[in-house]
Structure 1
Amino acid sequence: MRHEAHCNWLTGLKLDLRPQLQYIKQTMDPIELQAETVAQKVRHYLITTMGRTADEANDEEFYRAFCTSLREEIMINWTATTHTLKKKGLRKLYYLSMEYMPGRLFGNNITNLNAEEFIKRILKRLGRDMTTIINMEHDIGIGNGGLGRLASCFMDSLATLQYPAMGYGMRYQYGIFEQELICGVQVERPDCWLLTPNPWEFRRDTHAVPVQFAGKPVKRTNSHGDEVYDLIDCEEVRALPYDLPIIGYSDSPDFSVLTLRLWSTKESPRNFQLQRYNAGELGQASENTSLTDVLYPNDNHDAGKRIRLKQEFLLVSASLQDIVNQYKEVHPNFDGFADAVRIQINDTHPALIIPEMMQLLTKNNDLPWGKAWEIIRTCCAYTNHTVLKEALEDWNAQRLGELLPRNYSILERMNGEFCAEVRKTFPGDEERVRRMSIIEGGQVKMANLSIYGSNKVNGVAALHTEILKASLFKDFYEMYPDKFVNVTNGVTQRRWLLHCNPLLSAFLEKRIGKGWITNFEEIAKLKDFASDPETQQEFLAIKRKNKERLLKMIEEDMEFRHGHGKNFAEENFLSADALFDVQIKRIHEYKRQLMKALHLLMVYFEMKENPDSHRIQRFAMIGGKAAPGYHVAKSIIRLFYCLGRTINRDPVVGKKLKVIYLENYNVSKAEVIIPGTDLSEQISTAGMEASGTGNMKFSINGALTIATDDGANVEMRQQITDEWWPFMFGASSNENLEMRRSHSYNPLDVYTSEPKIKQAVDALKDRSLVENDAEHESLMAVYRSLLEGMTPDAFFVLNDLMAYYETQKKVEELYQDPNRWAEFALHNIAGMGAFSADVSIKNYAEKIWEINPCPPDPKELKQVRKEYSEHDRCRVIPS
């Protein structure tokens, strides 16, 4: 009776509304009618989910209701895409990464849906401001730096190019951390990005899986006689997935929507150990509940190391179970698994998927060891992102054996077979066997495991891949030369140009059309306009507006965070006439933020002596987070604080030179900083930066690059050509490698022979920049890193400093000729076509995954739309 009465009420509602709807349809154009429909949905969700009317809802409530309305169209395509990707015989990619940096989804989703003007119409009808609503969204806190941003760019390209794919990651409750600077000291605060409900995520309880740690392994054999292990008395954790939609850009309504599945351990009856809690062991009781609390917990102590290992295994085990479950939905046995599944190991963090897959195939699914190994080496591929040996993960063998006893037993067998294979290939070379061994010296080498268990291994820039082959993984390359390929990184031009720089996007569309949005190679057409004075002037006007927008953002951020935005701006800003000189990236010694600081000191001392020694104004901005346990990196941040205070308050120098540190750098800030930058600082020690993607984002937004010939800078220079790449400096990667091999570099020689360098370095210890002992100790830590210890100046800062100083003079000279500067910038944009993430993904698809595009099946789209429209008729506006 209750259901029948409800239907009668709906029938009556439809009859009552029909005259009104007929009037609306007759008086509105179709777009306005559609806008009114969505506006009605927003009002509907405000009332039904929050008990608020549109007039009384605050901005955050309105944002959530608006996203809920907008995502309905997305859900149609998401459902159809998911159904399509379940086709039998389809090969699908699964991308595993410990971090992603999607930024805010709302604005990017609108861009990829081609719906910005339509959304503005809806908001106008509802009396709301688009900028305000966009700012209600928090940056998604599941990444740290380039690794996560690259993974997000790749997911965007996979969706846009309509490849069959799915991403896996972790839903970190508090991100890595929110950076607060107190008198130059980095303080880590929780990044509470989940403080309010995230309307873009969908909890998927039916896909939750158990993950087991520790326990006692019980040996038995499977039907093929292979040793497998059951586990008793173990810790069982429930991994609960939350799905985010990744929307592909399209001009048509038949766009693809891929899934990024994020695992959480926050909610499960078994994750929290009540007995330990009642016994007073509070930390251990909640350890498994807090596994997904923080990205990269500080591993300077045993608890941090244990949690980080658990995090990595959680990602691997949960994702692999999910991959197998999806496969089993379509296939009756594992005969087609190797053909249907491709798994990309993004850096070494997910490398444990190799032994875990062996465990799952041989124990849970009774496959013979040999067949399982063949499957693993067919399905898996590994991307290396670093040449720093200290960044190649090693896990203590005892710790891994205690936490993951079954996996460790498998690793021991794998290692025995691998070492036998090495001995057979290189008889008598036991030193090589030791270097290549997966388990050696009580450590498990995750990079060695990743290479051994993968079908392909790729570097992320041509120079980087050559370094892998020639030095870092030389032994492996000599054994498996066919495994190694290069896929240069790229960025998505849709977020990093179309979305974040609308003025420049319109400028491009007016001259070369919109084809570059999905085929970035078309950006080369801009070369035809680079020497045109009118084009140059328009470009400079756009750059100025973007610089003014950046200044406004910094002032508003300082007001929000510290309550003194206007005062901060008056003391620390230069106008948009100044050269905006920007270095934003993770703080690390090899990225050489210290070189930037020393150069600023050199300029400061020159201007103190002669205010006219530099003809242009320079506004230096530095941003990035230091790892919580990285003492020298934190000291470098404090150096910039002391430097900015000294320079900015100087009554003479401060008129031409300013230095600020951009607090809590993230994706949303980058979307404003990058379009407003004149000079992009890419000054890593040559041979150390695998690729870089910030360099690409700056270039496509019209910044010129001052750079070492490192990472992807090499290929960018080649594409742009030396004629339009004026600010290269420094020793080459080969020269740096030779200095390391020969131990021929002595920074003290440079320090004593170059007066300008000596003056700048001495300022670190002579107390001229500091106001207290704590600051002095921080700057002394930086000083000692340059001139003292076993390996002083390990990243050759002083060796390249004079070349950098002289190249900065060229920067100032060119900046004095605005039109010429614009011409260089336009040629730089035009040369960036090869550095789209779309190009990278096509290369991965062809060289590594061997997958083909698979757009949503039109029949699936039609069926889902039909079901939705029939259901939707009983809701907001009946037809």
Structure 2
Amino acid sequence: MAEYTKAQLTDMIIGKLQRNFGRTVDEATPNHMFKACALVLRDIMSRRQMETDNQVWEGQKRQVHYLSLEFLMGRSLEKNAYNLGLLDTLKSALEGLGFSASDLFESEPDAGLGNGGLGRLAACYLDSMTTLEIPATGYSICYELGIFKQKIIDGKQVELADNWLGLGDAWLIPKLDETEEVRFGGTVEDHWDSQGHNHPEHVGYTTVLAIPRDMEIAGYKTRHTNTLRLWDAKSPVPVDMSLYSRGEYLKAVEQQAMAEVIAKVLYPDDNHYEGKSLRLKQQYFFVSATVQSIIRQHRAQYGTLRNFHEKHVIQINDTHPTLVIPELMRILLDVEGYSWDDAWYIVTHTVCYTNHTILAEALERWPQSLIETLLPRIWQILKEIARRYQDELQGRYGNDQGKIAHMAIIWGGEVRMANLCVCACQAINGVSALHSDILKRDVFHDAYVANPEKFKNVTNGVDHRRWLSQINPKLDALIRECTGGSKYLLHPEAIKGLEKYKDDQSVLSRLESIKNENKRRFASYVARESGIILNTDALFDVQVKRLHEYKRQLLNVLHIVYLYQQLQDNPNMDFTPQTFLFGAKAAPGYHVAKEIIQLINSLAAQIANDPICKDKLQVVFLENYRVSLAEKLMPASELSEQISTAGKEASGTGNMKFMMNGALTIGTLDGANVEMHQQVGSENIFLFGLTADQVAERKRQGYRSLDYYQQNQALKRVIDQISAGFDDHISYNDLTNRLLFGSGGSMADEYMLLADFDSYCAAHRRALETYADRKRWNQMSLINIARSGIFAADRSIMDYAKNIWHVPTR
């Protein structure tokens, strides 16, 4: 039974409207009503959060601190109501007040705090940590604009500001009394005492205030509540009124603007010095504020930091928060007065690192000069960590400069953040079995050989309550009927009970009916938003993810052009209708990715305007892909494109969401696809392409993409067509030249699209043959759903809790 009745919730909402907005229900706009509902739920969570804080304090429990530059939270009203067990009650209360609950949920902007899988994973993990009753706090920056809003104009991506805080700030609780100071620039003066100890003093610095704005996180069927702490940046210097009165308005507010830009935008373009400087400021700003905050609370409870590592674990999500290592050292050395060895012991028994990529450009390296200038004391500490580590490496490897150079923290004028993590963190984990093996075998091989106990694997997982039960209610109802209730929501392995119905024609028919209804609902949404009419009789083939060359959206395009040319050759051929759906944002400075988006839109327009494709072939680029769009798309998807070059994708989480919603996967043996294949078997997935080992071997042998082009006439024709362009007369010669000859010193076809093309086309043919056999397709869909429980975030978090954090769970 819900904690609050419809009448109680209605009274609470009316009270909020009156007290906070001076409105009656009749006067309230949808925005007033949204904020009133958000504030009511926020109050409920705040009370529970205070209870949780008291329990953690009294029990002196070990706490997890999850640091991530991204938390892609999506919308919160429906999710919080669901977790609190109030979703049906809230809907009923809103309808009783004359408002449409679905319209209100739809009006909420996505919280723009992330870019892709990294941020969505962090959000899923916060939900699971709370549901599993782990005392945990997430930390990030309260980006004013966050990730950009994507607009497609003349086929090209245009980035617009995404001001999510207009309504989204209803969830945020400012804690001005917990403001921290973060210092940039200046110099360090040494002060030696009579004992020969140095007491460095940081002088001439600029201060930025870090103001916490807390978002409460509700767990499912628990009163335990955690917090996502988002740091806002402000200047402590007031407006210079003398400058203002002289008309020098911009100069008068310069200090404020310089401080506030830190929290303005996620991932500023760093192709120039100013961008690099701002990114480094963002990273230090949020880790410094976070460490100071954790230490302040710890000292208030225990009066000493000697037991800090026993009561806290700091998990850093990728390399962005790595400066937490020297910052924690700084406080222990300079503020607490601990010896180097004592401070280092605490740091190396507190911090853990999750690696999310093997791509060299994503393993962050900062110019030494930038850190020296912006963070002079941090630079001194980094130099000492690097010197001691290099001494250790020389003791281990002697004069093997190759190994020392590869593992060094500071080398060639750069500070290497991943190597700092490997040196200082008590645990290092990859995010799929294949990825973790690559880290051990290749990326961090020497470190693994020296300290194999440090290296772990925790395969990613997704919040199945959100990504199945909440977004696909009819599938949720079917699963509950077949598995005997809602057990799977807290015990995701229980979804396996669905599999015993794989030969039950009534269940399979119902599964197909649910999918078809979801397709129609998604098509209605697309028609409302864009005017595009999707062919719901076609197979919905979907590739949605960040645009990157290794994710190979371009391989998908090559295959679609191949299909189009087949139709041109024989318009009356037997052709299974297919609708290809793309969704992707390209980083603003990533010009190749933006050109691929333009190519997809060129191809979409060409096919839409060609009568021979009508009701047969369709390509649609879904503008501004985001969490709330994914929530509508996943239940409607039938074929999930997970086609990255083997060995490049760390894990992927979209693949898991599609699987849970009954889409079948066409993919390479990359990332978590490997474990999905292990779960469902070769007969329930459409695999293609080179394996990671085969990719490495081809490169060792000297891969020549031009040979594939010259020897495969169908492929040659596809590439020639793309190079020439379509009816819009836009040539994509730059993209085809990258495939055939390379560009800017990079190898031709670096991600082996041409090598995998034939195998990919064959996998598509197998998928279409299966799609024609409705019983077989629906059986495969059911088996994928039934075996998806292992990919729930709850399982991932239990792995972290047991093997890395050493904290109990519910």
| TM score, norm. by length of structure 1 | 0.89
Q: CA deviation at 1:526?
A: 1.0
Corresponding residue for residue 790 of structure 2: 834
Corresponding residue for residue 256 of structure 1: 224
Corresponding residue for residue 794 of structure 1: 750
Corresponding residue for residue 474 of structure 1: 445
Distance 1:221 1:838 in 2: 52
Corresponding residue for residue 522 of structure 2: 550
Q: Is the 8 A contact 1:242 1:262 kept in 2?
A: yes
Residue 728 of structure 2 aligns to a residue in which SS? coil
Q: Is the 8 A contact 2:235 2:255 kept in 1?
A: no
Q: Is the 8 A contact 1:219 1:229 kept in 2?
A: yes
Q: CA deviation at 1:593?
A: 0.2
Q: Map Cα deviations across residues 601-653 of structure 1 (whole Å, 9 max, x no partner).
A: 00000011113445311000000100000000000000001000111111012
The residue type paired with residue 786 of structure 1 is L
Residue 143 of structure 1 aligns to a residue in which SS? coil
The residue type paired with residue 60 of structure 1 is N
Distance 1:720 1:221 in 2: 65
The answer to whether the aligner puts 1:388 opposite 2:359 as a matched pair is yes
Q: CA deviation at 1:211?
A: 0.3
Q: CA deviation at 1:71?
A: 2.8
Corresponding residue for residue 562 of structure 2: 602
Corresponding residue for residue 9 of structure 1: none
The answer to whether the aligner puts 1:759 opposite 2:712 as a matched pair is no
Q: CA deviation at 1:369?
A: 0.8
Corresponding residue for residue 533 of structure 1: 505
More off after superposition, 805-814 vs 47-56: 47-56
The answer to whether the aligner puts 1:497 opposite 2:468 as a matched pair is yes
Corresponding residue for residue 679 of structure 1: 639
Corresponding residue for residue 366 of structure 1: 337
Q: Is the 8 A contact 1:228 1:359 kept in 2?
A: no
Q: CA deviation at 1:69?
A: 2.2
Q: What is the root-mean-square deviation of aligned Cα atoms in Å? A: 1.9
Highest CA radius of gyration, 1 or 2? 1
In structure 2, relative to structure 1, the CA distance for the partners of 1:221 and 1:811 (3 Å cut) is: farther
Corresponding residue for residue 669 of structure 1: 629
Distance 2:193 2:182 in 1: 21
Identity %: 39
Distance 1:271 1:803 in 2: 64
Residue number among 600, 607, 617 corresponding to 1:640 in the alignment: 600
In structure 2, relative to structure 1, the CA distance for the partners of 1:549 and 1:421 (3 Å cut) is: same
Q: CA deviation at 1:771?
A: 2.0
Aligned residues, how many? 802
In structure 2, relative to structure 1, the CA distance for the partners of 1:504 and 1:747 (3 Å cut) is: same
The residue type paired with residue 535 of structure 1 is V
Q: CA deviation at 1:551?
A: 0.8
In structure 2, relative to structure 1, the CA distance for the partners of 1:654 and 1:480 (3 Å cut) is: same
Distance 1:612 1:730 in 2: 30
Q: CA deviation at 1:284?
A: 7.7
Residue 505 of structure 1 aligns to a residue in which SS? helix
Q: Map Cα deviations across residues 185-216 of structure 1 (whole Å, 9 max, x no partner).
A: 11000011012362211111011100000111
Q: Map Cα deviations across residues 427-478 of structure 1 (whole Å, 9 max, x no partner).
A: 2322211111100000000000011110010000000000001111112112
Distance 2:188 2:720 in 1: 59
Q: Is the 8 A contact 1:224 1:368 kept in 2?
A: no
Residue number among 133, 148, 168 corresponding to 2:104 in the alignment: 133
Q: Is the 8 A contact 2:638 2:663 kept in 1?
A: yes
More off after superposition, 49-58 vs 457-466: 49-58
The answer to whether the aligner puts 1:521 opposite 2:485 as a matched pair is no
Corresponding residue for residue 678 of structure 2: 718
Corresponding residue for residue 864 of structure 1: none
Residue 560 of structure 2 aligns to a residue in which SS? helix
Distance 1:683 1:198 in 2: 38
Distance 2:456 2:662 in 1: 31
Q: CA deviation at 1:658?
A: 0.3
Distance 1:459 1:224 in 2: 45
Residue number among 623, 634, 649 corresponding to 2:609 in the alignment: 649
Q: Is the 8 A contact 1:615 1:812 kept in 2?
A: no
The answer to whether the aligner puts 1:703 opposite 2:663 as a matched pair is yes
Q: Is the 8 A contact 1:272 1:288 kept in 2?
A: no
Distance 1:626 1:606 in 2: 30
Corresponding residue for residue 625 of structure 1: 585
Corresponding residue for residue 144 of structure 2: 173
Corresponding residue for residue 806 of structure 2: 850
Residue number among 297, 302, 311 corresponding to 1:331 in the alignment: 302
More off after superposition, 214-223 vs 300-309: 214-223
Residue 100 of structure 1 aligns to a residue in which SS? coil
Distance 1:316 1:50 in 2: 36
Distance 2:152 2:767 in 1: 30
Corresponding residue for residue 785 of structure 1: 738
In structure 2, relative to structure 1, the CA distance for the partners of 1:272 and 1:464 (3 Å cut) is: farther
In structure 2, relative to structure 1, the CA distance for the partners of 1:222 and 1:373 (3 Å cut) is: farther
User: Unaligned 5+ residue runs, structure 1?
Assistant: 1-29, 559-564, 856-879
Distance 2:158 2:254 in 1: 23
Q: Map Cα deviations across residues 680-728 of structure 1 (whole Å, 9 max, x no partner).
A: 0000000000000000000000000000000000011101122322x00
The answer to whether the aligner puts 1:728 opposite 2:681 as a matched pair is no
Corresponding residue for residue 219 of structure 1: 190
Q: Is the 8 A contact 1:720 1:830 kept in 2?
A: no
Q: CA deviation at 1:840?
A: 0.6
In structure 2, relative to structure 1, the CA distance for the partners of 1:32 and 1:526 (3 Å cut) is: closer
Q: CA deviation at 1:116?
A: 2.0
Q: Map Cα deviations across residues 287-324 of structure 1 (whole Å, 9 max, x no partner).
A: 22111110000011111110000000011100000110
Residue 761 of structure 1 aligns to a residue in which SS? helix
Q: Is the 8 A contact 1:787 1:793 kept in 2?
A: yes
Q: CA deviation at 1:740?
A: 2.4
Distance 1:283 1:807 in 2: 58
Aligned ranges for residues 239-250 of structure 1 at < 5 Å? 239-250=210-221
Distance 2:393 2:197 in 1: 23
Corresponding residue for residue 803 of structure 1: 759
Q: Map Cα deviations across residues 252-287 of structure 1 (whole Å, 9 max, x no partner).
A: xx521100000111x443387887976859878722
Distance 1:645 1:104 in 2: 32
User: Unaligned 5+ residue runs, structure 2?
Assistant: none
In structure 2, relative to structure 1, the CA distance for the partners of 1:162 and 1:609 (3 Å cut) is: same
The answer to whether the aligner puts 1:820 opposite 2:792 as a matched pair is no
Q: Is the 8 A contact 2:41 2:81 kept in 1?
A: no
Corresponding residue for residue 21 of structure 1: none
Distance 1:770 1:171 in 2: 45
Distance 2:573 2:385 in 1: 64
Q: Map Cα deviations across residues 152-176 of structure 1 (whole Å, 9 max, x no partner).
A: 0100000000011111011110012
In structure 2, relative to structure 1, the CA distance for the partners of 1:640 and 1:244 (3 Å cut) is: same
Q: CA deviation at 1:229?
A: 2.6
Q: Is the 8 A contact 1:143 1:295 kept in 2?
A: yes
Q: Is the 8 A contact 2:113 2:266 kept in 1?
A: yes
Q: Is the 8 A contact 1:222 1:362 kept in 2?
A: no
Distance 2:215 2:41 in 1: 14
The residue type paired with residue 765 of structure 1 is S
Q: Is the 8 A contact 2:235 2:256 kept in 1?
A: no
| TM score, norm. by length of structure 2 | 0.96
Q: Is the 8 A contact 1:103 1:667 kept in 2?
A: yes
